[in-house]
Chains A and B, each alone.
Chain A
Amino acid sequence: MSLISCRALSKSYRKGPNLVTPLSALDLEVPQGEFLALMGPSGSGKTTLLNLIAGIDSPTSGELLINGQDISKLSRRELTRWRASSVGYIFQLYHLVPVLSAFENVELPLLLTKLSRRDRRAKVSAALELVDLADRADHTPAELSGGQEQRVAIARSLVTNPALLVADEPTGDLDRESANRILDLLRSLTRDHGKTIVMVTHDPTAAAAADRVLHLEKGVLLETAPGPHP
């Protein structure tokens, strides 16, 4: 069963006098539990597609079903609520709050829930355990390496237990060793925890960690290449 279904998905916006169309009538199915990599040159529309899937941008036309729900029809408020519970976003530059500790950063999405302090603590601790950073819970981002920061960001995206994770070049700012560790972590999330991951990357090595690789060019899916991990 597909977790993500895009049907004739298009996105256009005005830039000065020009109409820019980063995505044009795109069809895509992503099964549950798949690790999908999106590749393509700059401006090909891959980040636009990722943002649409993450619910932080709205399509101009077409259908975008996530877990059977057309999120393009949701109101702004409903979409915000959906994001809080159904998707985790991993940024290239981590985007942790600098004055908060790793623990507090991971706890951020849970502050919106009705969970008790004890339950929040348990969930945050479990997420930090999962990314192997339980011993760095009290450290601020400035006291962590880039790889550790990204693992904290992954823990933050996981803490509400969403079925879908989207990652925008999660290894783009990391050295090879740290990047490999992040990719191993993402793979284990699909393999052991059944998460569906959509990852944008420029890096063929990172893409190779995915189950499937899609190439986008000028808003159109050109090629489907199977990854090395069927």
Chain B
Amino acid sequence: MIRLLSLAWKQLIRYRLRTILTVLGVASGMFLFMAVETLQDSLAEATEQTAADTTLVVYRENRFCPNTSRLPEYYADEIRQIPGVREVIPIQIVVNNCGASLDVITFRGVPDGLLRKFAPEIEVVSGDISEWERRDDGALLGEQFARRRGLHPGDRFDAVGVTVHVAGIIQSPFAQDNNVAYVKLPFLQQASRAGLGVVTQFNVRVNSSADLKPVAEAIDLRFKSDQQPTNTRPEKAFFAETASQLIELIGFTRWLALGAVLAVIALVANSILLVVRGRVKENAVLRTLGYPARAILFLVMSEGGMLGLLGGVLGTGLAWTFLRWQSFTLGSEGHTLAVIPEFQTAVNAIAAALLLGVVASILPALQAIQQPIVKSLRG
């Protein structure tokens, strides 16, 4: 088998121009496929709830943008009284753009000393957390955010009328945290002119995922007749609802991925079909030499598989590099979706390319062995 693979490889590398053109075509398709799959995976990660999710988001009823959700900060004390609630964190969110955007700047203001409770997973990878604690205008930037904006500890930057000092860069297993700037709540309330005592939302941690629904209902019931009624949902459902248009748009990209897959199949099939037609006599000679039909099938299909694999590695690699380098963050209604390629997605895309190459060459391979040897030799 290895000898036949080596023979197929020699055919590929010695018909260089044909191989390069086909591989480039496959790579283009797989680039698109990888980009779409990354988008879909990022969306799934942001919206699909798991049993480990225990966070609720309390938002102003009938409001979708952080700029219009204004809740009294004292609600936090009342929410804490509700059974099943473990922690309540008032958060002020300031964004540069509530519409759909590829470059969203989000400030999250959390009360002094509560950052570790709000996001215990974050890790300071550069800079100094004590500087953040010391300075009123200190900001901890998510690593994606910092990379996208080219910011480093010690820098100052201004956005949405808020000027901050970069105290450190943070890293988190949650994509959302890597795309925001954490600042202190009172600072953000004043800098954004929302005013002290007013927050955008409350993040509520409950004891277990079974408490999500009853606690959400209890919170909304408590403030139903208040001046600022609330709408409480699990964090991921909250994202899924507020960014529904964005999600619909991303859902449409599935068709692009399907188109890319079909294009790859058609390209490899066409290329292999031309190869088979050009090698009718060559294959007949191999059969005359005693090559069994399955060896010819294997040769043709491994050539298709190699074309798919090479194009897959190239296209996926380029997409990976491009998406990592650009650090795209899709935003809508103040919620961000970081488009970060995963290793597993890349492996899947390369495996898919290999499979597509093999599948695309099945028909040409069958064609290569069906014609009688004598007829093929006469050509």
Contacts and interface: CB of A to CB of B under 8 A. Distances in A.
A51 B336 CA distance: 71
A57 B291 CA distance: 15
A12 interface: no
Summarize A's interface: helix, strand, loop or mixed.
Answer: helix
A54 B285 CA distance: 12
Given A83-B290, A95-B377, A108-B289, 13 more contacts: A56-B288, A76-B293, A80-B290, A80-B291, A80-B292, A85-B290, A89-B289, A97-B285, A99-B14, A99-B15, A108-B286, A109-B289, A111-B3
B282 interface: yes
Contacts of B374: 51, 56-57
B224 interface: no
A122 to B, nearest CB: 16
A56 B281 CA distance: 13
B373 interface: yes
Interface string A191-203: 0000000000000
Interface in B323-361: none
A98 B273 CA distance: 19
Contact of A84 (B290, B372, B373): B290
A73 interface: no
A76 B11 CA distance: 27
26 contacts: A51-B374, A54-B288, A56-B373, A56-B377, A80-B292, A80-B293, A82-B290, A83-B288, A83-B290, A84-B289, A84-B290, A84-B291, A89-B289, A91-B285, A91-B377, A95-B281, A95-B377, A97-B285, A99-B10, A99-B15, A100-B14, A108-B7, A109-B289, A111-B3, A111-B4, A160-B290
Nearest to A108: B289
Interface residues of A, number: 25
Contacts of A56: 287-288, 373-374, 377
A196 B288 CA distance: 18
B129 interface: no
A16 to B, nearest CB: 15
A76 B292 CA distance: 9
B363 interface: no
Interface in A66-93: 76-77, 80-85, 89, 91
Given A56-B373, A56-B374, A112 B290 contact: yes
Select the residue from B14, B285, B292, B373 with max chain A CB neighbours within 10 A.
B285
Contacts of A76: 293
Interface of B: 3-4, 7, 10-11, 14-15, 281-282, 285-293, 295, 372-374, 377
A169 B111 CA distance: 94
Select the residue from A84, A85, A111 with max chain B CB neighbours within 10 A.
A111
A111 B298 CA distance: 14
Interface in A43-66: 51, 54, 56-57
B290 A95 contact: no
A156 B289 contact: yes
Select the residue from B10, B286, B288, B293 with max chain A CB neighbours within 10 A.
B288
Given A56-B374, A57-B374, A111-B3, A100 B288 contact: no
A216 B229 CA distance: 104
Contacts of B7: 108, 111
B285 A95 contact: yes
A211 interface: no
A34 interface: no
A82 B372 CA distance: 17
A82 B288 CA distance: 10
A81 B291 CA distance: 8
B285 to A, nearest CB: 4
Contacts of B282: 95, 97
